[in-house]
Amino acid sequence: MMSAVMSEKGACFAASTSAPRLQRTHQAARPISCCSSQEASQPIALDATSDNPLCRRAVMSASLASAAVMLLKDTPAYAVQGYTAGRIPGVTKTPDAEGFYTYTRPEGKQGGHGVGWSELPRYAFKIPSGWSETAVSIADLGGTEIDLRYTNPEEGGLEVVVAPVMRFKDIEFNANVKIEEIAPPERIISGFALEIFGAPLQEEDVLQQEVESKDGLTYYSWELKPHRLVTATAVKNRLILLSITANARQWRKSQDHLKHMWKSLSIVTRT
């Protein structure tokens, strides 16, 4: 069989080499002009009433480009949100009295979880102008539990982790637990440190730790060295953790914004 295939390939190759070859001719590229060759030396005036379709097309292109520039010039700096796969916009179009927009996790958003995940609890948080959502995929180095990322080169980065409670505690699939039923604050932050910071957490890294109640749910919050803010809660069978990081320059400039975002995490629905 192999020899027959090789013979057939040889015959095809011989036939292709014996056939006359197509000769390519190359001509120098010619500039396209809206005017005749006699007028080529004169400046071209765009005329929408011209009979030449190229002239009319150029006028339309210039008009559209001008309109786009004017539109962008007058557009406020909303938090940027994309329409690529896995990213469904969830940011309000207008800010609140303090100048912050609200991001609410849209129904049907996939995040980095891939297919097969049940619908996740909807959470919300505040975000300043100038922050943009970045793509998250199931191949993310942070794992499939990364649900969302936002960044601003001048202020820092934010990510939301949505993890199964079963990672810490054996529960029924449809259970509805609170974070204090899962583990104390120290165990929660230690369990996620490697995932969100890339290194284990040391005891001396914890600058501040708080436990507070909001709308019937318990929230854990941590301020960590060098400039890291984390808050977490649990609802249904999911643990939701919001993490903010900044370098020294970003922290000096924007720590008030970052701390406002840090304490703004909330759960939209619990049904």
Q: What is the pLDDT of residues 161-197, one digit of tens each?
A: 999 988 888 887 778 899 999 999 999 999 999 888 8
How far apart, in whole angstroms, are the C-alpha atoms of residue 122 and residue 148?
Answer: 12
CA separation, residue 246 to residues 44, 57, 65, 152 (Å): 53, 48, 37, 10
Note the pTM of the prediction, 2 decimals. 0.66
29 vs 186, higher pLDDT: 186
- Amino acid 199 reads A
Q: Which numeric CATH code is attached to 101-267? A: 3.40.1000.10
Q: 140: pLDDT confidence band, cut at 50, 70 and 90? A: low
Q: Pairing between strand 132-133 and 123-127? A: unpaired
> What are the extents of the domains in the chain?
101-267
Distance, CA of 188 to CA of 181 (rounded, Å): 11
Q: Which pair of structure tokens corresponds to residue 135?
A: 């793509």
Q: How confident is the model at residue 206 (pLDDT cuts 50, 70, 90)?
A: very high
Per-residue confidence (pLDDT) for residue 110, from 0 to 100: 58
Question: Binning pLDDT at 50, 70 and 90, where does residue 1 land?
Answer: very low
DSSP state letter for 144:
T
Beta-ladder partners of 234: 239
pLDDT digits (tens, 9 = 90+) for 212-249: 999 999 999 999 999 999 999 999 899 999 999 999 99
